[in-house]
Structure 1
Amino acid sequence: MEDNPWALISEVGEQGYIEDVTDIMTQHFRIISHRDFLQNPPLHAPKIQAILVWNACPPTEPSLLTSLPALKVVANGGVGIDHLDVPYISSLGVKVTNTPGVVSDATADMAMGLLLASARKIVEGHQVSVDPKTTHIPQCLMGYEVTGSTLGIIGMGDIGHKIARRSKGFDMKILYHNRRKRSVEDEEAVGATYCESMDDLLRRSDFVMLAVNLTPETTGLISRRELSLMKPTATLVNVSRGLVVDQDALVEALQSGTIRAAALDVTHPEPLPRDHPLLRLPNVIITPHVGTNTYTTTRRMVQTMVDNALAAVNGQSIPNEVKPK
């Protein structure tokens, strides 16, 4: 253990890693929290060979990166790397990795959970059921049919494809828009139809699911124009990143009836300011970016981070290296 390389982490606890995954890290690394590191940077900096980034922490700012002469890898937990300046980090001779694949099932489950909760008013039903003032169950608590409806998936990567697999079980008609058309085999596996035009998908879908990476091209992808193309009975579901949606435009669309509802696992910022109008709208469900938050997936993510970091530290082939574009 004394010979293990050092890794900088955020912390163990409420704002960082759950206690249940520390064994995975300490088996191969000597870990130090960012808070402890800052108590004496000159002492710790020369030892750090890896940064294990969880929920964008520790923040990989140039001041930190350039202070770590032995740093070999920044291993990110999750697929999205929009919080990492990959070209800059790579220019320092430091590798960048992420954890694709292992997050897909949990995120796809969450996506379907949000869709179903919004359509069938599950949160509202729970509130009525537990309200001490409830003396009868209102029959006006009507939802919207999921079975047989049309789902439009924007972003048909691994997560999008797994969402489609789940949707097939609800006999949904599945449309998708992606940078590249999937193979015929992939389409047939889920019964999905490619829409070259995102506008066409927006017009035809009862539920629009966002499962894209955040890039300059997808920032603000859904704004006033796109929302205006959706059905007034449509629901927007976002499990990608908050900045993919223009939130001011979304508030307007939900208030005016341009669309029926939204179900969001991501916002910008996270959490939203407590006076943000999205928090007061009755036709919105918001969860706190917990798409990957299951014990099984979290352990798999941390194991993949550690595997990636070890490979980089030991000069081996890195399973999930992210290279600058």
Structure 2
Amino acid sequence: MPDETDLLVLRKGTHGTPIEQYAETLRERLPDRTVELARTPTAERELIEDARFVTGMTLEEELLEAAPDLEVFACAYAGTGHLPLDRLRERGVAVTNASGVHGPNMGEHVLGAILHFTRRFHVAERRQRRREWRHYKAHELQGSTVTIVGLGAIGRATAERLEPFDVETIGVRYTPEKGGPTDEVVGFEDEPFEDALARTDYLVLACPLTDLTRGLIDRETMITLDPEAVIVNVARGPVVDTDALVDALRSGWIRGASLDVTDPEPLPEDHPLWNFGNVQITPHNAGQTPRYYERLADIVVENVRRFDEGSDELRNQVVP
């Protein structure tokens, strides 16, 4: 990579949006810096040899070993579990993520899913396909209780968008003493969490996948929920026990589910979840937004400037 290159962009894009848009956005935001796009595997291997600051969706360990001068990797995803984090730590490479980028669009996705089930648009869609003019009963969101598991950027954005609807909100987080934008905040302890579930009309999952949250929404959880409750999952598929969810839908333990993520994922063509009329499935699409690269660039540009100034504190830093 030429000596004057300040930022290297790796070739993988996301959400079907060309990576060139990301590189161009960074160039516009950093007119006094040189932004290089490695558009091919060969270019990545060659350009990363002298790179100090790199951004991209992923960084394979083989490519990392070809970057002896790397000091910062700005991951373009909110999650970093796919990265060789142990090796990055050993190398002393600072890692940042894209936390916060998805807040607005995923908050809107959750709100849309809730309104979909509140006004039962799935019933209307079926009757429209049949050209059947027949009334059906719907619900009101006002007065409902919405429990949001995870109060990161997505959970907070969801709570903010629910404010005008006159609902009660319960937030669930690891450290409830920190509070949050919801009317009430509880932890994952058995009794407080179970009590929240028993009062829930809409259960929104917006938490990271951890040992604690894997299988969190299991058979006992679904039995605890009110039969009129709806589950909205924009977290990760394994947060929900899929077999238990299928049983819950078949047995009428819950009213329905909106799933942007599934376990397994992609959902196999022959999976029973496809056939439920009260299940809304989107293909891990809640993160889609035309402003993804723009919001990501906000984080990266700030960190480029901090890096140039010799700061040890980077925005969204997950590995010191």
TM-score tier after normalising by the smaller chain length: 0.7 to 0.9
Q: Give the equivalent residue in structure 1 for 2:35.
A: 29
Q: Give the equivalent residue in structure 2 for 1:320.
A: 316
The one-letter amino acid paired with 2:87 is Y
75-84 vs 171-180, which deviates more? Answer: 75-84
Judged with a 3 Å threshold, the aligned counterparts in structure 2 of structure 1 residues 19 and 230 are, in CA distance, closer, same or farther, namely same
Q: In structure 2, how many angstroms separate the alpha carbons of the residues matched to 1:292 and 1:41?
A: 26
Q: Give the equivalent residue in structure 1 for 2:183.
A: 191
Deviations 1:5-41 (A, max 9, x none): 45242435864546543312345420113xx11x477
Q: Give the equivalent residue in structure 1 for 2:134.
A: 138
Q: Quick check: 1:285 aligned with 2:280? A: yes
Judged with a 3 Å threshold, the aligned counterparts in structure 2 of structure 1 residues 301 and 41 are, in CA distance, closer, same or farther, namely closer
The structural deviation recorded for 1:46 is 1.3
The one-letter amino acid paired with 1:323 is V
Q: Give the equivalent residue in structure 2 for 1:264.
A: 259
The one-letter amino acid paired with 1:30 is E
Q: In structure 1, how many angstroms separate the alpha carbons of the residues matched to 2:213 and 2:36?
A: 38
Name the count of aligned residue pairs.
310
Ranges in structure 1 where 5+ consecutive residues have no aligned partner? none
The normalised TM-score by structure 1 is 0.82
Q: Is the 8 A contact 1:308 1:320 kept in 2?
A: no
Judged with a 3 Å threshold, the aligned counterparts in structure 2 of structure 1 residues 298 and 41 are, in CA distance, closer, same or farther, namely closer
The one-letter amino acid paired with 2:287 is T
The one-letter amino acid paired with 1:284 is V
Q: Give the equivalent residue in structure 2 for 1:213.
A: 208
Deviations 1:97-121 (A, max 9, x none): 0133343222222111111112322
Q: Give the equivalent residue in structure 1 for 2:116.
A: 117
Q: Give the equivalent residue in structure 2 for 1:179.
A: 174
The structural deviation recorded for 1:123 is 4.1
Quick one: which of 202, 213, 218 aligns to 1:223?
A: 218
Structure with more contact order per residue of length (Cα contacts < 8 Å, sep ≥ 6): 1
Deviations 1:50-100 (A, max 9, x none): 44333xxx3x33233223223222212243333334333221221110133
Judged with a 3 Å threshold, the aligned counterparts in structure 2 of structure 1 residues 76 and 23 are, in CA distance, closer, same or farther, namely same
Q: In structure 2, how many angstroms separate the alpha carbons of the residues matched to 1:313 and 1:250?
A: 50
Q: In structure 1, how many angstroms separate the alpha carbons of the residues matched to 2:203 and 2:105?
A: 19
Q: Is the 8 A contact 1:72 1:313 kept in 2?
A: no
The one-letter amino acid paired with 1:106 is N
- The share of aligned pairs that are identical, in percent, is 32
The structural deviation recorded for 1:139 is 1.4
The structural deviation recorded for 1:234 is 0.8
The normalised TM-score by structure 2 is 0.83
Secondary structure in 2 aligned to 1:74?
Answer: strand
Secondary structure in 2 aligned to 1:105?
Answer: helix
Secondary structure in 2 aligned to 1:11?
Answer: coil
Alignment root-mean-square deviation, CA:
2.9
Judged with a 3 Å threshold, the aligned counterparts in structure 2 of structure 1 residues 305 and 224 are, in CA distance, closer, same or farther, namely farther
Q: Give the equivalent residue in structure 2 for 1:53.
A: 56
Q: Give the equivalent residue in structure 1 for 2:31.
A: none
The one-letter amino acid paired with 1:235 is V
